[in-house]
Amino acid sequence: MKSKTRLLEQLKSVPNSPGVYIYRDIDAKVIYVGKAKSLKNRMRSYFHNRGTDPKTRALVERIADFDFHVTGNEIEALVLECNLIKKYRPVFNVSYRDDKSYPYLAITWQDEFPRIMVTRERHKKGTKYYGPYTSVQPVRETFDTLRRIFPFRTCKRAKPGKSTGSPCLNYHIKRCLGPCIGAVAKDEYRAMMEQVEFFLEGRSSAVVKQLEAEMEEAAAGLEFERASRVRDRLEAARHVLQKQKIVSEAGEDYDAIGYSLEDSLAGVNLLAIRDGKLIGSDNFVLARGGLDDDVVSAFIKQHYVSSVAVPPQIVVPGAVEDRELIEEWLGIRRGSKVTIKTAQRGAKRGLIEMASANSRYALAMSAIKYSWEQESAALALTSLASALGLAGPPERIECFDISTIHGHNSVGSMTVFVNGRASKGDYRKFKIKYVDGLNDFAMMHEVISRRLGHLGDDCDPSFATMPDLIIVDGGKGQLSSAMSALEEKGYPDIPIIGLAKREEAVFIPGQPEALMLDRSSEALKLLQRVRDEAHRYAIAYHRKLRGKAMVESTLDKIPGVGENRKRLLLTHFGAPGAVADATLEELKSVPGLPDIIAERVHRHFHSNRGKL
C-alpha cells in the first residue's frame, strides 16, 4: 500500500483546475468518485482539513491510489462524476442500489410511420424517449393504455406491415390504422402520434379536447362508424384523465422529491406533476455510502443524467448541495431555465410530505425484500458449496459460454454473479480471435485464457477480481479445455465445473461420474440462472455481430461503397440494421456521402429486403 507520504507527494502534481477525482483502495477498486472546482484544493482537503471527520478518516485510511480527470468546467465535471459513479458504484458514494438499466417508452420518429416500443437503450438517432420507469410493469401498463386510445402500429420493422403485404389482425379489429396498405395518409398518422406524445408528456387534457373535436367532426359529416371508434378512444382517454389527481389549478409542470433515511440506505420518491395533475409516482432505493453526501443532490444528478424529461421546476424538501451548478446543468439539458425550489408551505409542501411518506413505505418494503433475497441467496450458495466440496460459499461466480454458427462470428461471454445476484456491470464479451472453424473446445480455452490474463488488471475492475468459482457451459470437453487454460495461466486452484444443458449434469474435475443435483435444489437453480444468463448474453452478442457482418458484407456489393464510405455509414447510423432501414432522405443527410451513393444504398436494401 502506498504510504500517505507518497500520496501527498503525488498531490503536488494535481492541477488547480475543475475535474473529477477517483480514489482507489489497495486492490485498485474504486471506492469514491468526486468532482471539484479546483482538483488540487479539494483533494488536499481530504488529507488535511477534513481529517477529523470519522467517516472521511475511514475513507482516507483506505485510499491507496488515485486518478483524476481535468474537465473544461464544473458542468462537465458534474456529468463525468455522475457517469463514473454509475459505472463503478463506489462504496463511499450515494448511488442507485440496483445495478440495472431502466426501461423507457420510445417513439421512432425517424420512421415514416412511427411506432412505439419498450426499450432499455436510448441512443438511436431520431427516436424520442420517455422515462426512465422504475420497472417494466408501469411501462407495459402505459403501453396498453395507449393502445386502447390510439390505433398505432405495433409491427417491429421500420417499414409497417408484414413481408406478405397483407394487413395483420390489428387492422381488422380497428386497433391499427393500416399504414402498411395505405389505409391512412402519412400526415394523418403522424398527427395521431403527436397526440400520443402529448399524452406521454402529461398533456392528456389536450388529447381529450382533440378527440372531442374529431368525434364531432365525424358525426357532422355523417361518418358514424368513425365517430363511434373515436368515441371509444375518447372514453378511454377520459378514464385516464379522471384517475389523475389535480394538485394545481395553475396547470404547472414540476417534479416533487421526498426522501427518508435508514441505516445505510435511502428511499427517494419522485412525483411527476404535469399540467397541474399528478401523473406518476416512482420509488428509488439508494445506497448512502460511507460519507454524509447530500442524498437529494446525489439523486437529482444520477436521475436526470439519464432521464429524458427535465421539468422546468424541481421541488425539494430542503437545501440542495451544488444547487446553482445543478440548475445550470439541468437548464442546458432542458434547453430552458430550470429551478430547484424548497417547498415551505401550501400544496407543494403537502406533496413533499406525501412523497416522503411514500419513500418510507418503499424503503421498508425494499429492506424486507432485500433481506429475503439475501437469505435465499445465502442458502443457495451454502448448498452449492456443500454439493461441490468448496471451502466456503462462492462469493463471486463467473460463467462462460460460446456462441457460433458453423464457426462464423464466434463469440464468448462472461457473466458474473456476486453473492448470488447478477452483477451486470461486470459482464464481459469476447470476439474469438485465434480459433478458425467450428471448435468449441479451443474457443473455450481461448476465452478462459484471455480472461485469466487480465487478473489484477487495474484498468478493468471486473477482470481484476479473482473468481471463487468458474462455470463453463458444457460437458467434459469444455471443462477439460478450461482446466488446461487454468494450468497454463498459473491458476490451477480456482474451483471450476462444467454444466451440461441436456441432463443438467455437473462435471467436477477428478470425478469420473457427473454429479446430478436434485432438480428442486436451490443450488441447481442458482447454477441454471448463472448458466442461462451467460447463454443469453453470448447469443445476443453473436446476433449483433452476425447482423453487422450481413449488412457490411452486402454494403461491399454496392458500387462506390468502399471501406471509408462503409465506415461513414455505420458511424452515422450507429447500428448496421439502421443503415438497411434508413430512408433515402436519411441517407442523403449523411455528411460526406454523395447523393448518387445514397440512392444506390437505398435501392439496394429496399429492393432486396426479402433476400437479406
In our burial notation (b when 16+ CB lie closer than 10 A, e otherwise), range 365-390 reads: ebeeeeeeeeeebeebbebbbebbeb
CATH code matching the domain that covers 556-611, chosen among 2.60.40.10, 1.20.1440.230, 3.40.50.300, 1.10.150.20: 1.10.150.20
Q: For the chain, which residues make up each domain, given as ranges?
A: 4-93, 109-246, 254-364, 396-544, 556-611
Q: What angle do CA 18, 20, 24 make, to 5 degrees?
A: 145
pTM, rounded to two decimals: 0.61
Reported for 52-57, long-range contacts at CB under 8 A and 24+ positions apart, including other chains, are 55/290, 55/291, 55/292, 56/291
Q: Answer with the residue of higher pLDDT: 483 or 46.
A: 483
Q: Answer with the residue of higher pLDDT: 230 or 393.
A: 393
Quote the CATH superfamily of domain 4-93. Answer: GIY-YIG endonuclease (3.40.1440.10)
Fold annotation for 396-544:
Nucleotidyltransferase; domain 5 (3.30.420)
* Mean pLDDT calculated for residue range 77-85: 88
Cell 474504486, residue located: 30
Residue 135's alpha-carbon distances to 104, 331, 543, in angstroms, are 9, 27, 26
- Average pLDDT across the chain, whole number: 83
Question: Could you tell me if 581 and 612 are in contact, meaning their C-beta atoms sit under 8 angstroms apart?
Answer: no
Strand ranges, E, within 378-460: 396-405, 408-418, 421-422, 428-431
Q: Answer with the residue of higher pLDDT: 99 or 286.
A: 286
Q: Which pLDDT score is estimated for 244?
A: 54
Domains 4-93 and 254-364 share a fold: no
Q: What is the DSSP string of 199-225?
A: HHTT-HHHHHHHHHHHHHHHHHTT-HH
CA distance 465 to 71: 30
CA distance 471 to 444: 11
Quote the CATH superfamily of domain 254-364. Answer: Ribonuclease H-like superfamily/Ribonuclease H (3.30.420.10)
- pLDDT for 588 beyond 80: yes
Residue 278's alpha-carbon distances to 243, 273, 274, 303, 583, in angstroms, are 9, 4, 7, 19, 39
CA 145, distance to chain mean position in Å, is 24
Q: Which pLDDT score is estimated for 192?
A: 86
Other C-beta atoms closer than 10 Å to the C-beta of 528 total: 15
For 35-64, write each residue's pLDDT tens digit: 999 999 999 888 876 556 778 888 888 888
- pLDDT for 286 beyond 70: yes
